[in-house]
C-alpha cells in the first residue's frame, strides 16, 4: 500500500506516491492527463522494489505553477525528488510523457539512473499530423470544456478499450483535462533520438499491442537507438497505458528486468 504526500522542491510542489520500504527504488511518471494512481497495480511489486510515482504539474494533486516548463525541466524535477528522498540511484521510467521525462533524466544525470523503463513512449518530437490533431482536440476542450464526447474519445486514445477508460473520462468531466502549460510541454517537445546512443543504462521497452497514440515503429526506432535496450515487449490486448490496464503482464516484465538490473 502506497502513502501519498506533497513535497516542496526548489522548482515546484508535487504530489508523490511511495510504497515505502527499503527495496530498490523504481521512480515512475504517468502519461498525459493521468496521474500517479495509474501505477497502483505496481505498488505491490516484489519486496525488492520501492515504487515511487509522482503527479506532473497540472495533473492529479500537483499544481501547475506560474511558469511554462519543458520535459527537460521535469527531468530536473525528478532529480530534485530523488535528492529530497535521499535516493542516490534509481530505475527511472514512465508511460508516454513519463517516458519523455525518463529519457531526459538519463541524459541530464546518467549517474542517477541505474535503469530505464520505457512504456508506450518515443524519443521523437511530435509530428506535424499529430500536432494538428492535438491542436484541434485541445482547442475544442478549451472552447467547450470536458464534454462526454471529447473525454470519451480522449480516454479511448490514452487508456484504450478497457473499463478504466470510462473511469478516466468521468474524472476529466469532473476536474477537467490539463490545458495550458502541460499541453505546451507535450506538443512542443524536442527530438532526442540522435542523443540516445549516449544513454548506456539498461532499458526495458514495452508497448501495448493496440496502442493508437504512438505507433510501434516509432517505439522500435527509439529502442534501436538505446545501447542498453533488449527486445521490444508487446503486452497483448493493451492500449496506450498497459501499466494501468494490464498490471499483471507489466509487473512480470518489470520483475524480470529489475532482477537483471539488480543482479539478483
Domain contains 182: no
What pLDDT is attached to residue 163?
96
Residues 6+ apart with CB under 8 A from 201: 106, 110, 113, 114, 115, 116, 228
Checking if the pLDDT of 2 tops 90, the result is: no
**Nearest 5°: CA angle at 42, between 41 and 47?**
130
Provide the grid cell at 146: 470536458
Long-range contacts of the stretch 99-106 (C-beta < 8 A, 24+): 99/29, 100/71, 100/189, 101/29, 101/56, 101/71, 101/74, 101/75, 102/29, 102/75, 102/78, 103/192, 103/196, 103/199, 104/71, 104/72, 104/74, 104/75, 104/192, 105/75, 105/78, 105/79, 106/199, 106/201
Domain that holds residue 59: 3-126+191-262
Domain contains 61: yes
Provide the grid cell at 122: 518515443
Contact 21, 47 (CB under 8 A): yes
Domain contains 148: no
CATH number assigned to the domain comprising residue 47: 3.40.50.1820
Domain contains 40: yes
Contact 118, 102 (CB under 8 A): yes
Checking if the pLDDT of 10 tops 60, the result is: yes
Read off the pLDDT of each residue in 83-107 and give the average, rounded to a whole number: 97
Checking if the pLDDT of 71 tops 90, the result is: yes
Residues 6+ apart with CB under 8 A from 233: 204, 205, 206, 207, 253
What pLDDT is attached to residue 172?
98
Domain contains 156: no
Contact 16, 54 (CB under 8 A): yes
Domain contains 157: no
Domain contains 71: yes
Confidence of residue 47 (pLDDT cuts 50, 70, 90): confident
Checking if the pLDDT of 260 tops 90, the result is: no
Residue-wise pLDDT for 97-117, tens only, equals 999 999 999 999 999 999 999
Q: Which residue has the higher pLDDT, 261 or 163?
A: 163
Domain contains 238: yes
Confidence of residue 264 (pLDDT cuts 50, 70, 90): low
Residue-wise pLDDT for 211-238, tens only, equals 999 999 999 999 999 999 999 999 999 9
Q: Which residue has the higher pLDDT, 264 or 186?
A: 186
Checking if the pLDDT of 1 tops 70, the result is: no
Checking if the pLDDT of 15 tops 90, the result is: yes
Residue-wise pLDDT for 117-156, tens only, equals 999 999 999 999 999 999 999 999 999 999 999 999 999 9
Checking if the pLDDT of 56 tops 70, the result is: yes
**Nearest 5°: CA angle at 17, between 169 and 176?**
25
Mean confidence (pLDDT) of the chain? 95
The domain total for the chain is 1
Amino acid at each position: 500500500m502506497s502513502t501519498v504526500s506533497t513535497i516542496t522542491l526548489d522548482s515546484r510542489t508535487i504530489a508523490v506516491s511511495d510504497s515505502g520500504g527499503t527495496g530498490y527504488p523504481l521512480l515512475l511518471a504517468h502519461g498525459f492527463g493521468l496521474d500517479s494512481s495509474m501505477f497502483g497495480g505496481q505498488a505491490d511489486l516484489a519486496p525488492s522494489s520501492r515504487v515511487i510515482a509522482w503527479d506532473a504539474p497540472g495533473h492529479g494533486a500537483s499544481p501547475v505553477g506560474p511558469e511554462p516548463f519543458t520535459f527537460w525541466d521535469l527531468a530536473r524535477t525528478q532529480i530534485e525528488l530523488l535528492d529530497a528522498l535521499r535516493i542516490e540511484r534509481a530505475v527511472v521510467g514512465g508511460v508516454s510523457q513519463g517516458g519523455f521525462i525518463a529519457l531526459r533524466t538519463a541524459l541530464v544525470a546518467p549517474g542517477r539512473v541505474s535503469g530505464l523503463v520505457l512504456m508506450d513512449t518515443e524519443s521523437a518530437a511530435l509530428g506535424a499530423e499529430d500536432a494538428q490533431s492535438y491542436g484541434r482536440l485541445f482547442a475544442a476542450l478549451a472552447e467547450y470544456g470536458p464534454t462526454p464526447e471529447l473525454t470519451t474519445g480522449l480516454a479511448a486514445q490514452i487508456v484504450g478499450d478497457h473499463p478504466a477508460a470510462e473511469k478516466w473520462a468521468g474524472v476529466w468531466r469532473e476536474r477537467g483535462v490539463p490545458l495550458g502549460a502541460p499541453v505546451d510541454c507535450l506538443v512542443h517537445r524536442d527530438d532526442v533520438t540522435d542523443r540516445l546512443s549516449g544513454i548506456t543504462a539498461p532499458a526495458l521497452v514495452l508497448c501495448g499491442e493496440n496502442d493508437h497514440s504512438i505507433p510501434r515503429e516509432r517505439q522500435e526506432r527509439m529502442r534501436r537507438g538505446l545501447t542498453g535496450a533488449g527486445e521490444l515487449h508487446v503486452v497483448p490486448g493493451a492500449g496506450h497505458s498497459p501499466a494501468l490496464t494490464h498490471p499483471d503482464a507489466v509487473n512480470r516484465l518489470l520483475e524480470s528486468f529489475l532482477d537483471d538490473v539488480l543482479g539478483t
